[in-house]
Amino acid sequence: MAVDNDTVRRIAFLARLKVEQDKLEETKEEFNKILAWVEELGEVNTDNVEPLVSVNNETLTLRQDEVLSGHISEEILANAPAKEYGYFVVPKVVE
Amino acid sequence: MAEYIIETEKGKWEVICGLEIHCQIISKSKIFSGASTEFGDDVNENVSFVDAGMPGMLPTLNMECVHQAVKTGLGLNAVINKYSEFSRKNYFYADLPQGYQITQFVHPIVGEGAIDIDLADGTTKTIRIERMHIEQDAGKSIHDIDPKKSFIDLNRAGVGLMEIVTKPDFRAPEEAGAFLRKLRSILRYLETCDGNMDEGSMRCDVNVSVRPYGSDELRTRCEMKNVNSVKFVMQAIESEAKRHVEVYENGGEICQETRQFDPTTLSTKVMRKKEFAHDYRYFPEPDLPPLILSDDFIAKIKNELVELPDAKKVRFVKDLGLTPYDAMVICENKEVAQFFEKAAAGRDGKKVANWLMGDFFAMLNKKNLDIKNSPVSAENLGKLVDLISKDVISGKIAKDVFEIMAETGENPEDIVEKKGLKQVTDTSAIEAIIDLVISQNPDNVASYKAGKVNLMGWFVGQVMKQSQGKANPAMVNKLLKDKLG
Amino acid sequence: MSNLTDLTISESLAKLRKKEISPVELATAYIEKMSENNKYNAYITQTTEQALEQAKASEKRYTDGTNRPLEGIALGIKDLFCTKNVRTTACSHIIDNFVPQYESTVTQNLLNDGALFLGKLNLDEFAMGGSNETSYFGPVVNPWSRETKLVAGGSSGGSAAAVAAKMCAAATGTDTGGSIRQPSAFCGVTGIKPTYGRCSRYGIIAFASSLDQAGPICKDVTDCALMLNSMAGYDAKDSTSSKVTVPDFTSFIGQDIKGLKVGIPEEYRSDGLNAEVSAYWDKAAEILKAQGAEIVHINLPHTKYALPTYYVIAPAEASSNLARYDGVRYGNRVSGNGLDELYINTRTEGFGKEVKRRILIGTYVLSAGYYDAYYLKAQKVRRLIKNDFDEAFKKCDVILTPTSPIEPFAIGDKKMLENPINMYLNDVFTVSVNLAGLPAMSLPIGLSKNGLPLGMQLIGKSFDEATIFKAGYQLERGANFVRM
C-alpha cells in the first residue's frame, strides 16, 4: 500500500505537522520504505488470533470516588506559554 | 399515534431520526482523576495534572462512574457488558488537553436496550437503544472575553459522561421529545445524571434523514450537534427534515455533514463537510487494561435499583386507581411521585391525584416553586382529602382551606378547627336554618309549590349562605325537599 | 582509599554504614567525575547543589541510625522521569523549558529510600532512537571511544555512559524496545528492564505506553537488584502497574543455578550474525553450563516479525501520546495564524526529525482504512510473539541471547543515518521482550577485538526477575568483565 504525496500531506495535517514542499518526495519515499518493511506482517496467518490488548492480562483496578486533587491552578498554569485571568490563552478559535 | 408525514405537492415523505445523548455522570470526582466535578468553581481550580494532560500523567478509573453507568444501563433495560475496553479518540482541540478523548469504541460497557415512550394520544412506542458507553468530557473554550483570543478553562475536562446512542427509531419530532423527557425522568430516578439540558449536563446530537413515504431505503443523514433543549430538538428535526425534502424535490442531493441548529431562525446551517470530517484514529487505550465486571457487582446494583417510572405507573393504575394519563404525569418526576405516594397512603388515590394535579400544581406554578419546597406537605394534602372524604368540610370550603395552607403551611385540621369551618351535619341545626329561610321568603315558597321547581337551587343557595357554607349540601338538599314537599 | 566512584552501590553502602566514608565525600567524588567527564555529554541538567544538601541530610541519618536502604547513594536520572521543580525535557526542544510540578513515582521511591540525584541524563528525543543521536542536546559520547567518537546507544545513552564513566553510582533508564539493555551493552554496564507493570509509569514521559518500562542501569548485577528493590512496586496512580508481590531481589544474588534450564533460541542465530558476538554467546552458555545449568535449544518462530510489529505499535501509541505537546498548556509555543497553525508551527519546530517520522507513521497506521491492515494485524502478531515465549518457557527457565547484533558504531555513521530501517534493525534482539512484556537484563560479557564492550541478554518469565538475577550474577562472575 504505497502512499502518495496527498496522503503524506493529509497524514501530516492529522498529526499537525508540516512537511515542506521540497521534503515531500523524500518523506514519501521514506514512508513507503518503512511501510513496505512492516508489511511483512501480512505473511503471518493471524486467523482466529485475538489482538493482544493487555500484555500481563491485568484487569482494571477501580479508584474510590474521592476528591484528592484540586485548587492547584498555580501549578497547572506554571508552564503555560500564555495565560490570563487564570485561563490558558490561545488565538481566537473560530467555530 | 397519528403518523408524521411531510406532504408536498410532489409527494409524501417520512422522517428517520436517531439521537446521541451525552449525560454528565453524577460523581464527586472526575472519571479518570481525583479532581472535583463541582460546577461553578473558579477557573482551573478543579483541575489535576492528569486533567491538564501533563507529561507522564496517567488515567485511573473512578468506580462510581462505572457503578452509575451500570445502573443507567439497567434502567435502559439494556445488556451490561461484563467485558469492556477504553479507546482513545484522537483529535486536536484547545480544550482537549491530551490530544485525545478517552472513550469506549468497540467494546462499550452497555449494549442494546429499549425504553417505552408515552405519546400524546395515549399510545406508547418502544425506542431501541443501540449502546451506551462512558467517556471523559472536554474543557471549555470561552470566545467572548477578547476579540483575538480564546480562553481555556479545564474545570470540566475529565468529568464523566455517558453517551447513549439510540437506533434510528424516531419517525416524528414528538417521539424524540417524548424520548428525551422519558430518558431524563429515568436518569433522575436513578440519580445518575441531573438531566439539565440548559446547563449542559445533558446534551443531544440529532441525526436526521428522510425517505419517500412507504419505502424502506436509508438516505444520507445529517447530524446536528449539541442541541440544548427538548423543544429545540423537536424543532431541529422538523426544520432539517423539511430541508431534506426541499433538496430532494428540487433534484438535489443531501451530503453527509455536521450541521448546527439555530433556534432563532429555526433552521440549520452547515458546520463541517464530510471531506473535512475528523479521522479519529481510535485504538485501545494502552494506559487502561480492559474493564471486567463481576456478576456480583452487577447483581448488587440490580438489587439496589429504585422503582422506575414505568413500573411505578403500572402500580399506581393497578393499586391506587389512577388513570394511565394521571399516573404518567405523576410518575414523570420522581419527587412528584414520592410526594403523591406519601399523600395517597391509605386514601383514595384518585381523589389525591385530582388535588395534586389541580390546585396543588397550580399553586406551585403560581408561586414558581419546586415540589421539594412546597409549603403544603404531602401529609397535609392527604389530611385535606380526608376532611372532605369524612364530610368534615365541603369541597368548596376545602379550596379555601388549601389557600390558607399554601400561605401558612398549617395543618388543615387546625385551620378548620381555628376558623370554625367544620361542616354542619346536625339535622336540627340545618332544619333551623331552613325554617328561617322558608319563613323569610313566603313568595318563593308559594311559587315553588305552584310548580316552579327550579327555585330549589335558590333555596339551597340561601341555606348555604346562612350557614356560611358549612352546611352539608347533600343534607340541605334532602331536608329542603322534605320541608317544601 | 581507592577512587570512591569505583565502588558499587553495595560496596558504598557497606562503607557508609561502617562510617568509613560519608555521603558528602561520596557525592563530591561523583560531582568531580561529572565535571571531569563533561565531554561525554551525559548530563543535560545538573542538580549538584541540591544533591550535596541531600548528602548532608543523609550524613545525619547515618549518625542517628535512621538511614534508609539507599541512603546517600548518588544517582543520575534519565530526563524522561518528571522531577518536581527540576526541568524535565525528554531531550526535546518542544518542552526544553518544562518544569514539572510533580515527581514520578519511581524517582519518589528512590528519594524515599534515601538516594540523591546528581542531575538529569541525556537520551534520544522522547526515547525514540538507538544511538542517542536524536537528542535535542546532541549525542552522548560512549566513554569507551578512542580516536573516533562512538555512540553510547539509546535511548538511555546518557544513563549508560554516566554509569560507565562513574558520573553516578547508578542511573534510571526506561526501555520500550531495548533502551536500557542496548546502551548498557554498548557502554559495558548492567541494566535490567523488569516485567511490564513492575515499575509505575506515573510521571515518566510516555513514548509507547504498552511497551514502556523503567529499570536501573548499574555497575553490576547486585546493584541492579538493590535499585530495582526501590524502584518497583504497585502504584494506584498507574492502572497498568502490577499487584504481584515484589520480592527482595538481592536475595537471589549468589544462589546457585544447578539444573537451571537456559534456552538458546535458534532464530536469533541468523546467518549475518557477527562472529565475535556469536562466539561470546557460546562462551556465556559455557559459563552457565559450568555452573550447573543445562543448555536447551528453543524456538521463537515469530522472531522475524518482532521488529515490524514493534514499528507499527510503538509509533501508533507515540503518535497519540505526543499529541499533548501542542504549545497550549506548557512547552515552547510557535505562534501562527489561528489555532491549527499554532499547533503545526509549534510541533513542526519543536519535534526533531526521527520523532516526526514516527508520529507520521503512527498516524498513518491508525488512520481510517489502514487500522486493520497495520495496527490490528500487529496486535495479533504481538500475541503470537508472546505465545512463542510462553511455549519456550515450558522448556526452559531463562533465555540467553546477545543484547545487540553489533558493537558501538561511530556517531554520525552514514549507513545508520541514510536509512532509518538500518538503525531499527539494531533492536532485533531486544524488541520481542517488550512486545511480550517480559523482564530482561543486559550484562557485559567481554570486549570485541576493537576493545569495545559486548553484552549478553537474559530473558525471564513474566514476573520472574528472580531467575534473571540468579543466572545474571553467575554469568557476571564467570565473565569477569573488567569495568572501565
When CB atoms are compared, the residue of A1, A34, A90 closest to C339 is A90
Q: In angstroms, what CA-CA distances link A17 with C323, C360, C361?
A: 11, 8, 12
Q: Is any Cβ of chain B less than 8 angstroms from the Cβ of A80?
A: no
CATH topology of domain B427-484: Arc Repressor Mutant, subunit A (1.10.10)
Residue B61: phi, psi to the nearest 5? -85, 130
Q: Strand pairing partners for C263? A: C296, C399
What's residue A95's pLDDT? 57
Q: In angstroms, what CA-CA distances link A21 with A17, A32, C361?
A: 13, 17, 18
Catalytic-residue membership of C155: yes
Burial class of residue C135 in the structure, from the number of CB atoms within 10 Å of its CB (0-12 exposed, 13-18 middle, 19+ buried): buried
Tell me the HSE value of A13 on the side-chain side, using a 13 A CA sphere. Answer: 10
Q: Are B422 and B457 in contact (CB under 8 A)?
A: no
pLDDT > 50? residue B318: yes
DSSP string covering B213-270:
TT-------EEEEEE-SHHHHHHHHHHHHHHHHHHHHTT--PPPEEEEEETTTTEEEE
Q: Do A76 and B290 touch (CB under 8 A)?
A: no
pLDDT > 70? residue A4: yes
What's residue C399's pLDDT? 98
Which chains would you list as touching C if contact means 3+ CB atom pairs under 8 Å?
A, B
Over its C-alpha atoms, chain A yields an Rg (Å, rounded) of 23
Domains detected in chain C: 4-255 (3.90.1300.10)
Say how many C-beta atoms besides its own lie within 10 A of residue C466's C-beta: 18
- C contact test, residue of B287, B291, B292 with most C CBs within 10 A: B287
Give ipTM to 2 decimals.
Answer: 0.97
DSSP string covering B162-227:
EEEEE-S-B-SHHHHHHHHHHHHHHHHHHTS----TTTTSEEEEEEEEEEETT-------EEEEEE
Tell me the HSE value of B180 on the side-chain side, using a 13 A CA sphere. Answer: 26
What's residue B427's pLDDT? 86
Cα(C157)–Cα(C160) distance, integer angstroms:
5
Q: Do C240 and A54 touch (CB under 8 A)?
A: yes
Q: Do A7 and C364 touch (CB under 8 A)?
A: yes
Taking each helix axis from N to C end, the angle separating B63-75 and B173-190, rounded to the nearest 10 degrees, works out to: 130
Q: Are B141 and B151 in contact (CB under 8 A)?
A: yes
When CB atoms are compared, the residue of A13, A56, A81 closest to C327 is A81
A positions 15-74 inside 8 Å of B (CB): 16, 51, 53-54, 58-73
What's residue A2's pLDDT? 83
Average pLDDT, chain B: 94
Q: In angstroms, what CA-CA distances link C401 with B191, B274, C121, C254?
A: 58, 52, 28, 21
Tell me the HSE value of C343 on the side-chain side, using a 13 A CA sphere. Answer: 20
Residue B448: phi, psi to the nearest 5? -60, -50
Q: Are B96 and B52 in contact (CB under 8 A)?
A: no
Among residues of chain B, what percentage have pLDDT more than 70?
99
- How confident is the model over B419-464, as pLDDT tens digits? 888 887 788 888 889 999 999 999 999 999 888 888 888 999 999 8
Q: How many residues does chain C have?
A: 484
Residues 6+ apart with CB under 8 A from B173: B4, B15, B17, B233, B234, B235, B237, B238
* Confidence tier at C1 by pLDDT (50, 70, 90): very low
Q: Do C328 and A75 touch (CB under 8 A)?
A: no
What's residue B383's pLDDT? 96
Chain C residues within 8 A of A38 when measuring between CB atoms: 308, 311-312, 365, 374, 378
B positions 85-104 inside 8 Å of A (CB): 85, 92, 94
Residue A87: phi, psi to the nearest 5? -100, 155
Q: Is any Cβ of chain A less than 8 angstroms from the Cβ of C337?
A: yes
When CB atoms are compared, the residue of C239, C337, C376 closest to A60 is C239
Q: So where are chain A's domains?
A: 5-43
Q: Do C328 and B289 touch (CB under 8 A)?
A: no
- How confident is the model over A57-94, as pLDDT tens digits? 788 999 999 999 999 999 999 999 999 999 999 999 87
What's residue C340's pLDDT? 95
Cα(B355)–Cα(B350) distance, integer angstroms:
9
Position of cell 543535560? C44
pTM assigned to the model:
0.93
When CB atoms are compared, the residue of C82, C239, C323 closest to B289 is C239
pLDDT > 90? residue B298: yes
When CB atoms are compared, the residue of B49, B64, B291 closest to A60 is B291
Q: In angstroms, what CA-CA distances link B164 with B18, B236, C387?
A: 11, 19, 38
Cα(B110)–Cα(B72) distance, integer angstroms:
9
DSSP string covering B40-53:
SPSTT-S--TTTTT
Cα(C478)–Cα(C139) distance, integer angstroms:
33
Q: Looking at per-residue confidence, does C388 or C484 come out higher? A: C388
What's residue B275's pLDDT? 55
Q: So where are chain B's domains?
A: 5-300, 307-419, 427-484
* B433-442, C129-138, C368-377, range with the lowest pLDDT: B433-442
- How confident is the model over B393-418, as pLDDT tens digits? 888 889 999 999 999 999 999 999 89
**Least CA distance to B102: which residue of chain C?**
C320
Q: In angstroms, what CA-CA distances link C368 with B279, B290, B310?
A: 6, 23, 42
Chain B residues within 8 A of C102 when measuring between CB atoms: 49, 54
Catalytic-residue membership of C179: yes
**Least CA distance to C327: which residue of chain B?**
B94
Average pLDDT (B218-224) is: 94
Cα(C441)–Cα(C454) distance, integer angstroms:
13
Catalytic-residue membership of C184: no
Query: What is the least distance, in Å, from the CA of C212 to any CA of chain B?
Result: 11
Residue B27: phi, psi to the nearest 5? -155, 160
